[in-house]
Amino acid sequence: VFCHASDASRAIAGQIAALIRGRAGEGRTCVLGLATGSTPTGVYDELVRMHREEGLSFQNVVTFNLDEYFPIRPEELQSYVRFMREHLFDHVDIKPENAHVPDGTVSGESVADYCRRYEEMIEDAGGIDLQLLGIGRTGHIGFNEPGSGRSSRTRLITLDRVTRRDAASDFFGEENVPARAITMGVGTILAARQLVLMAWGEGKASIIAQAVEGEISTHVAASFLQEHPNAQIVMDEAAAEHLT
Ligand code: F6R
């Protein structure tokens, strides 16, 4: 628990930078799982700063984002591929072919085939070393809404009403929020070697308490983190408020 999200974000970015540099020193790649939304922006800002001012290189970094709305074109304001370019990819030296975001335009193959291929790409990269996560008010990680099973994999899902309401301002109205999204599954996320879930602000306090102290269940996808051997939950004081 940190006083402020900004301090927490810097600490997490420092941890990621150490991992990237450690791997580079061994001549190996570093595979990062990334999230979008308001929660991780401070981490990306700090990584960009470290790239500019401290020579942190992303040449050996491979990334896989958790999710993307479906359908959505990459140039649309709300697309997660655009978000990642604006917050990270365009400002560091990552190789474009190493930065993966689920494709919100899949055509020419079925979405199910594409999702299987996304899983294979993660596997071929050697699996995810560190996965960044935010949490939605429904307890979702990625877009694994209530009902998502422990062994779910990358797939097309229907967004929860609460999630669409939370995204309404980004889309200038709830009716414009796509009904569906492609998301890594709970099983995909739990396969990462290290998980870092971040939560800032009082709006996350109640779902954080359920995820951390409540029973492990498909009603709250984030509760499955309790079963992971190397999962960190990083919060500010407001988000930790309801923990006993
Ligand atoms: C985004 C994602 C979602 C968000 C969650 C919280 O890639 O996977 O699970 O992390 O909806 O969103 P924010 O950070 O905007 O509160």
Active site residue 75: no
| Ligand 1 centroid from CA 25, angstroms | 32
Nearest to residue 199, comparing CAs of 129, 145, 160, 141? 141
pLDDT digit string, tens, across residues 180-205: 999 999 999 999 999 999 999 999 99
User: What is the residue with the minimal CA distance to atom 10 of ligand 1?
Assistant: 134
- What whole-number distance in Å separates Cα of residue 88 and Cα of residue 82? 10
Per residue in 201-219, pLDDT (tens digit) is 999 999 999 999 999 999 9
Length of the chain equals 244
Indicate whether 178 pLDDT > 90.
Answer: yes
Which residues, other chains included, contact 15 with Cβ-Cβ below 8 Å and sequence gap of 6+?
Answer: 130, 196
Check 46, 68, 119, 145 and give the catalytic one: 145
Confidence band (pLDDT; 50, 70, 90) for 228?
very high
Q: What is the 3-state secondary structure (H, E, C) of 84-147?
A: HHHHCHHHCCCCHHHEECCCCCCCCCCHHHHHHHHHHHHHHCCCCCEEEECCCCCCCCCCCCCC
Domains present along the chain, CATH in parentheses:
5-198+217-232 (3.40.50.1360)
- Nearest-CA residue for ligand 1 atom 3 is 142
State pLDDT tens for residues 56-105.
Answer: 999 999 999 999 999 999 999 999 999 999 999 999 999 999 999 999 99
4, HSE (Cβ side, Cα atoms, 13 Å): 4
Mean pLDDT over 124-153 rounds to 98
In angstroms, the CA 185 to CA 176 distance is 25
- Report the pLDDT value the prediction gives residue 107, as an integer from 0 to 100: 86
Q: Supply the pLDDT for residue 192.
A: 98
State if pTM tops 0.95: yes
Q: Which atom of ligand 1 is nearest to the CA of 39?
A: 14
pLDDT at 108: 83
**Pocket, ligand 1, Cβ cutoff 6 A:** 35-39, 66-67, 134-136, 140-142
- What is the pLDDT at residue 91? 98
> Which residue's CA lies nearest to atom 11 of ligand 1?
136
Q: Is 218 in contact with 149 (CB distance < 8 Å)? A: yes
Counting ligand 1 atoms within 8 A of each CB, the residue from 63, 66, 100 with the most, and so the one to mutate, is: 66
Amino acid at 93: D
pLDDT of residue 39: 98
Segment 99-129, tens digit of pLDDT: 999 999 998 889 999 999 999 999 999 999 9
Structure tokens at 58: 């992303």
| Ligand 1 centroid, distance to 18 Cα (angstroms) | 24
Rounded mean pLDDT, 147-159? 98
- pLDDT for 11-69, tens place per residue? 999 999 999 999 999 999 999 999 999 999 999 999 999 999 999 999 999 999 999 99
Residue 10 CA to residue 4 CA, distance in Å, equals 10
**Is the CA virtual torsion 47, 199, 116, 190 positive or negative?**
positive
